[in-house]
Structure 1
Amino acid sequence: MRQLISGVITILFAVLLGTAGHAFAAPEAARPGDLVSFTKLPDGWGGTGNGYEITYRTEAADGGLTTANGLVFLPSGPAPESGWPIVSWDHGTNGLGPTCGLTSSAGAPYDSPLLLRLNQAGYAAVATDYLGLSKVSTRTHPYHHIRTEATASIDIVRAARHAVPELSKNWAAFGASQGGSAALATGNLASSYAPELDFRGTAALAPGSQLDQLVPLAGPGVPNLGPINGSVSVVVAILAGMEANLLDFDIHPYLTARGEQVLHDISTRCVTEWDGVLGDASLGSLMARSLDTPEFRRIAHDYLAIPTTGYQQPIFIGHGIRDISAPYPLTLALLAQFTAAGTAYEFQTFDTDHAGITVGGGFDAGLDFLRRVFQ
């Protein structure tokens, strides 16, 4: 018997090693948009009985592959024959650490009502945590990093379609605040990055723009900015994200000892804690040297600049005229850049501040835009 078994093993090895042209394929390499897991949320989480947490592969800040989390909210009832069209929702600033994302929250209280409204309008809603904001994160969130905000927003659409056969290939991007700039970056990249999908358009409310021009102005001479000193935390958060994700740039020589401590402390904190981390520090007190160098301006442009050319589908932008968090004049500058580049867009203003844009008519206008581009 032992000789028989030995002979069989010998024959099997001969077949495996000697069969020309019939090599056994290795497992397929992981790709952006691959589904890792898809888990039903407890009934009532975020006000829905049809919500899921999704984990998927997407692009890292260094161009490699990483993992991100997000939410999927599905409409109730049967899907239309062509499948539910998808809206990829990009949320506003939540923080930098792995407990700051939608999936780490108790029902995503700010964003869930908006996802439910998308469901009520007949759309499947997906909402990425971006990178760094969930339990699968390995690095600090690359805050306002245009490329990975876009790839995370696109790859969650791919992954959701793997998980839910009733989803259409037709989709659009929609976001507010940080998510407004993320949505614009998504719309710019969508058709070339995911040509297998049918991208229809971008709605962006109160997008943060011109950051590539503003952040390099940080230096020792910047005074306390009084009522808009809150913008300092945005600059510091951007620098913390850069420090953690841009391995070829060293921010530390540009910081004072206090700047080093603030950057370290903010890198794991959610936005509600940012003011406490910053205290009464002015931006100038955090900086040992000016960032206004050719090298840093190049880095800031690549990291932060909203694209002004290359859009293939319609764009809607809405902004509150009383907004001082993402100041209205900065969006006017962005629109001037779009116009100079020949990029068409729709624009509407609202009598709101930054926080009020989604309840002060902006979200309704975005829904109207979506209805038209999905027709």
Structure 2
Amino acid sequence: MNKIKNHVLKILLGCLSISSASVIASPSISSLSTAQIPTVLLTNPGTLLSLQPQPTDLFSNASQRFLMTYRSRGIQSEPIVASGFILLPKGKAPKGGWPILAWAHGTTGVADTCAPSSDYVDGPVHAYQQVVAKPLNAWLARGYAVVAPDYQGLGTPGEHPYMNAQSQLHTVVDAVRAIHLLKPNQLSKNWFVMGHSQGGAASLAVAAYGQKDAPELNLRGAIALAPGGYQYQGIAEYVVNNPEPDKSVAAFFPIVLLGAEAADPNLAPENLISPDMEKILNTARSRCLSELQSNLTEPPKSVFKPNANLNPLIHYLKKQSIENMIPTVPVMLVQGEKDHLVDSRGTYAYYQQICTAQKPIKFHSIKDGDHRDSLKQSEFLIGDFINSVEKGKVTNLCSKK
């Protein structure tokens, strides 16, 4: 049933004109009860296009949850439709309104069924969402409203340009704009961004460019949990040097290739990969990472074709690397020391780079922590970071391991 709903939603959104003056809205939402929205508003990034109440389920500290679609911008700032979900805290909004957390999720895949906003019990992203729920509940308990974009092409028309810095920046920033239209008098302009893995890279892009991109809002800080993307081109170089990678890499690498192709069709992976790898890649077009990891019984015997020209791909991946992102707001990095998916040495090297640039940044290392431990531990770390930001006490002193 959920897949049918997603399919219908995709058809609906594909027929929706961005410049139309009409909006799909739940009649129960007073702030969107009018049948018409001025056309000039619909041309603005962050315009709400549809809103649907959902059960709060995993989010025990939420008073309400909504599935939303909204106008955003793609890789070249072209207009797109994006989706996500909104969580509102319990109780009455304080004077000045609830501050906002923008949540940037980790890698789920590139297929529409991998969109976290359409999660369901036993679905392909449900196990991850169960882990996500605890830290988001912690933000809700602190009186933050939460907006969680799916990213471009997840659950909405078009392909997902996985790890594209510009696209992820836009969908996160425009989601924050969109939530203000839901409760315009109950939300503060102050906001934080927090992301895990893929979302950690997204949060660093927001930390670098978010305030300039949305000057009408007040970005206070960013939390990057096990951020992927340090020397991002290294994953392609690794596969070149390890033509028979283990299953975890073989399951993940198609997402990298399909994301690059979504951003630049000239990077078509079928021109680069072996027949063995092509089978896995085609599966990745319609299955999520968790499914790829569980269904892949053995790695391919080779990944790339002999003499494949990888220079354009490597050049593209390098442009998305997090070391290109210099924060303009305080940042906290959280990294597990035994993370086998994101190398802790890369996260620490990024920390040293930003710290040397004299930008306010903290690094919290989790001893024996794996990839998800940074996410699990974040709920116990956000309070100190928020307080440090509010008091202007986030330092830029480089520490030594």
TM (norm. structure 1) is 0.84
Task: Work out whether residues 218 and 291 of structure 1, in 8 Å CA contact, stay in contact via their aligned partners in 2.
Answer: no
Task: Please name the residue that 1:60 is paired with.
Answer: 74
Task: Please name the residue that 2:268 is paired with.
Answer: 250
Task: Work out whether residues 267 and 312 of structure 2, in 8 Å CA contact, stay in contact via their aligned partners in 1.
Answer: no
Task: Work out whether residues 132 and 375 of structure 2, in 8 Å CA contact, stay in contact via their aligned partners in 1.
Answer: no
Shift in alpha-carbon separation, 1:43–1:331, aligned structure 2, 3 A: closer
Q: Once the two structures are superposed, what CA deviation does each residue of 1:64-117 show, in whole Å capped at 9, x if it has no partner?
A: 111111111111111111100001011112221111122111274332332221
Shift in alpha-carbon separation, 1:261–1:141, aligned structure 2, 3 A: same
Flag the structure with larger Rg.
1
Which structure 2 residue ranges, 5 or more long, are not aligned?
A: 1-37, 122-128, 392-401
- The alignment partner of 1:130 has SS state of coil
Task: Please name the residue that 2:34 is paired with.
Answer: none
Choose from 373, 376, 380 the match for 1:356: 373
The correspondence of residues 1-375 of structure 1 with structure 2, limited to 5 A, is 27-28=39-40, 30-42=43-55, 44=57, 46-47=59-60, 48-106=62-120, 108-134=129-155, 137-165=156-184, 166-217=186-237, 221-226=241-246, 229-276=247-294, 278-282=296-300, 285-289=302-306, 293-302=310-319, 304-351=320-367, 352-359=369-376, 361-374=377-390
Once residues 276 and 240 of structure 1 are traced to their aligned partners in structure 2, the CA distance between those partners, rounded to angstroms, is 19
The number of residues matched between the two structures is 343
Shift in alpha-carbon separation, 1:341–1:251, aligned structure 2, 3 A: farther
Shift in alpha-carbon separation, 1:95–1:297, aligned structure 2, 3 A: closer
Q: Once the two structures are superposed, what CA deviation does each residue of 1:284-318 show, in whole Å capped at 9, x if it has no partner?
A: 6121146775433321122x211445422111101
Q: CA offset at residue 257 of structure 1?
A: 1.7
Code of the residue aligned with 2:302 in structure 1: it is S
Task: Please name the residue that 1:23 is paired with.
Answer: none
Once residues 343 and 309 of structure 1 are traced to their aligned partners in structure 2, the CA distance between those partners, rounded to angstroms, is 12
Once residues 191 and 221 of structure 1 are traced to their aligned partners in structure 2, the CA distance between those partners, rounded to angstroms, is 40
Task: Work out whether residues 308 and 341 of structure 1, in 8 Å CA contact, stay in contact via their aligned partners in 2.
Answer: no
Shift in alpha-carbon separation, 1:290–1:333, aligned structure 2, 3 A: farther
- The alignment partner of 1:57 has SS state of strand
Task: Work out whether residues 59 and 136 of structure 2, in 8 Å CA contact, stay in contact via their aligned partners in 1.
Answer: no
Q: CA offset at residue 342 of structure 1?
A: 4.2
Code of the residue aligned with 1:122 in structure 2: it is G
Shift in alpha-carbon separation, 1:104–1:182, aligned structure 2, 3 A: same
Shift in alpha-carbon separation, 1:333–1:92, aligned structure 2, 3 A: same
Once residues 62 and 187 of structure 1 are traced to their aligned partners in structure 2, the CA distance between those partners, rounded to angstroms, is 20
Once residues 287 and 327 of structure 1 are traced to their aligned partners in structure 2, the CA distance between those partners, rounded to angstroms, is 24
Task: Work out whether residues 54 and 160 of structure 1, in 8 Å CA contact, stay in contact via their aligned partners in 2.
Answer: no
Task: Work out whether residues 183 and 202 of structure 1, in 8 Å CA contact, stay in contact via their aligned partners in 2.
Answer: yes
Q: CA RMSD in A?
A: 2.4
- The alignment partner of 1:81 has SS state of coil
Code of the residue aligned with 1:150 in structure 2: it is L
Which structure 1 residue ranges, 5 or more long, are not aligned?
A: 1-25
Once residues 46 and 30 of structure 1 are traced to their aligned partners in structure 2, the CA distance between those partners, rounded to angstroms, is 33
- The alignment partner of 1:311 has SS state of coil
Q: CA offset at residue 235 of structure 1?
A: 2.2
Once residues 333 and 265 of structure 2 are traced to their aligned partners in structure 1, the CA distance between those partners, rounded to angstroms, is 34
TM (norm. structure 2) is 0.79
